[in-house]
Chains A and B, each alone.
Chain A
Amino acid sequence: MRAGGPGFVGKTWALVVKDVKLELRARDTLPPMVAFAGAVAVLLAFSIPSSGNLSAPVRIVAGSAPLTDVLAGFLWVTVLFAGLIGFARTFEVEREEAAIDSLLMAPLDRSGLFFGKAIPNLLFIVLVEAILIPLFAILFGIDLGGSWAVLASVALLADLGFVAVGTLFSALAAQTSSRELILPILALPVLVPVFIAAVVLTSDLFAGSSLDEVARRGWFAILVAFDVIFITAGALLFEFTVE
């Protein structure tokens, strides 16, 4: 980083602590995100065949997608929607009391502000997944055996890119007249690569694959490339999104 040194990290960390503290006191972002994710998961269950449960799979009609694909898609749609709802609130505190001016006066490179907002968002989405993924496993009879760690790393890699895009675009959306609506319109098309990679890898894990195929590992490379590109883009472009 340009600003470099412990000063940059220390100041960024102070911003992270500030937002986490605010959330611990107000609890107005994470609990609604989790509740929303749970509600979506339950609703999605109504759209799959009578026994939408991997431990007792229904016969899938030839030509239709395997249930593992469908469930992996459900999981990531739920994560994306819950995440975007939460990320739309990224600058809510600053808006309410016009505190954005004070935040901008912080003696810190703008990329520090980006990380100061992105890290709490990352924390929120990881916590949502920590509740949602076990919930999915119970509701849909998913048994991952020893692959939990792999799924966790897939989720974390997907989250990094998701949060980078979500935080950058939430700063954009916060300045328009239809904040919560514009964020998904901007973010969802950009997130297509993350979504495909996460769904393909998760579906493989749901199907009991050990991810040995070289072709499948390529999806990890896509996730890493996406993360690197969008974390860099977010840090560089963030300064143009705030005054």
Chain B
Amino acid sequence: MEFSDSGRRLGWLGAAAWTAVSISLVLIFFVARTAQSAMGGELQRIFYFHVPAAWVAYLAFAIVFMSSIAYLRTNDRRWDILANSSAELGVVFLALVLITGPIWAHPVWGTWWQWDARLTSTLVTWLTYVGYLFIRNLTTDRRRGGRLAAVVGIIGLVNIPIVHFSVYWWRTLHPTGPTPANPTANSGLGTPELAAFFTSLAAFTLLFAWLLAMRARLGRLEDRADELEMGVVSGRRREAVVRARQVVTT
């Protein structure tokens, strides 16, 4: 079987991911300087987890989009497994974004939540992909569920810019920090902080790649287990038929 070989590659990927995570933790907590109290002081360090998690979530949804198209075109189950694995991880990482954001915002903004453009569009995106997971899990036939989910996976990504644009327009009056167009505006990030940030970004990306590979392998094993079970069931049925025939003939 090719499992041992892919297992070894998976091991290396995991080792790389966890090494990167360890280095980034050191950089985040011991090298990056404490931010001004206006940005939350020590609490600002949550930024090194918050932003990479958001990046990984949107990367995950881009993978869902591409593998959904590939699945509908080729009907190859591997694309479907990849899309599903990536969607699950995207929902988890975006949930981390939605949890870490308010933890920082409560003391700094004085409120857990604001109906600010970026917060709102993140929440809407998260809900869209929760729907993606629902439609898959509420369909009994795995192949049909995959096809239906692929449609949602495509629509979901197409809609992200429209949602973002409309929500942004709706709440342009709200003051926000550095904007996507001007990310370093007054951010106060020096070399140590940028090093910590980009290492964390790399660590999150590697961690995501490792988890994605693990989850996809699990999906393939689930399929294999299903096939074996079906084989056992049909084998038992065959035995039963043979036995019944023997009873009839004797």
Q: Which residues of A contact B (CB under 8 A)?
A: 165, 168, 172-173, 175-178, 182, 185-186, 188-190, 192-193, 196-197, 200, 218-219, 222, 225-226, 229-230, 233, 237, 240-241, 243
Interface size class of B (residues with CB under 8 A): 20 to 34
Contact A186 B135 (CB under 8 A): yes
**Residues in B neighbouring A165, C-beta threshold 8 A:** 155
Contact in complex: A176, B166 (CB < 8 Å): no
Cα separation A193 to B170 with both chains bound (whole Å): 10
- A237-B159 contact in complex given A176-B135, A178-B138, A192-B124, C-beta closer than 8 Å: no
Question: How long is the Cα–Cα vector from A168 to B154 in the complex, in angstroms?
Answer: 12
Contact B139 A176, beta carbon cutoff 8 Å = yes
Question: CB-CB < 8 A to B155: which residues of A?
Answer: 165, 168, 190, 230, 233, 237
The answer, among A173, A178, A218, A229, for a CB contact under 8 Å with B158, is A229
Contacts of B158 in A (CB 8 A): 229, 233
Q: A186-B135, A192-B163, A233-B158 are in contact. Are A175 and B144 (CB under 8 A)?
A: yes
* Complex CA distance for A73 and B98, rounded to whole angstroms: 26
Between-chain CB contacts (< 8 Å), 29 pairs: A173-B135, A175-B144, A175-B148, A176-B148, A177-B139, A182-B131, A182-B134, A182-B135, A185-B131, A186-B134, A186-B152, A189-B127, A190-B128, A192-B124, A192-B163, A192-B167, A193-B159, A193-B166, A196-B167, A197-B166, A218-B169, A226-B162, A229-B162, A233-B154, A237-B154, A237-B155, A240-B72, A240-B147, A241-B151
Question: Is the pair B166, A196 in contact by a Cβ cutoff of 8 Å?
Answer: yes
Consensus secondary structure, chain B interface: helix
The residue that B150 contacts in the complex, of A173, A177, A178, A240, with Cβ under 8 A, is A240
Instruction: List chain A residues, Cβ under 8 A from B144.
Output: 175, 243
> Hey, which bits of chain B sit against chain A, CB under 8 A?
72, 124-125, 127-128, 130-131, 134-135, 138-140, 144, 147-148, 150-152, 154-156, 158-159, 162-163, 165-167, 169-170
A-B contact count (CB 8 A): 83
C-alpha spacing A200/B170, complex, angstroms: 8
Nearest-CB residue, chain B, relative to A177:
B138
Q: Which residues of B contact A243 (CB under 8 A)?
A: 144
Report Cα–Cα, A226/B166, bound state, in Å: 10
Contacts of B167 in A (CB 8 A): 192-193, 196
A240 touching B163 by the CB < 8 A rule? no
Q: How far, in whole Å, are A165 and B158 apart by their CA atoms in the complex?
A: 12
For the residues of A in contact with B, the DSSP-based class is helix
What are the residues of chain B within 8 A of A229 when measuring CB–CB?
A: 158, 162
Minimum CB distance partner of A199 in chain B: B170
CA distance A188 to B156 in the complex (A): 12
The distance in angstroms between the C-alpha atoms of A230 and B163, with both chains bound, is 13
Knowing A186-B135, A200-B170, A240-B147 touch, does A222 contact B162 (C-beta < 8 A)? Answer: yes
CB distance from B78 to the nearest CB of A (A): 18
User: Nearest chain-A residue to B72 (Cβ)?
Assistant: A240
Q: What 6 A-B pairs have minimum CB-CB distances, sorted nearest first?
A: A193-B166, A176-B138, A189-B127, A186-B131, A189-B128, A172-B148
Residues of B within 8 A of A173 (CB): 135
B152 engages A172 (CB within 8 Å): yes
CB <8 Å contact, B148 and A189 = no
| A226 proximity list for chain B (CB < 8 A) | 162
A189–chain B nearest beta-carbon distance, Å = 4
Q: Which B residues are CB-close (under 8 A) to A190?
A: 128, 155-156, 159
Q: Closest residue to B150 on the A side, CB-wise?
A: A240
Chain A residues with CB under 8 Å of B72's CB are 240
Q: B135 CB to closest chain A CB, in angstroms?
A: 6
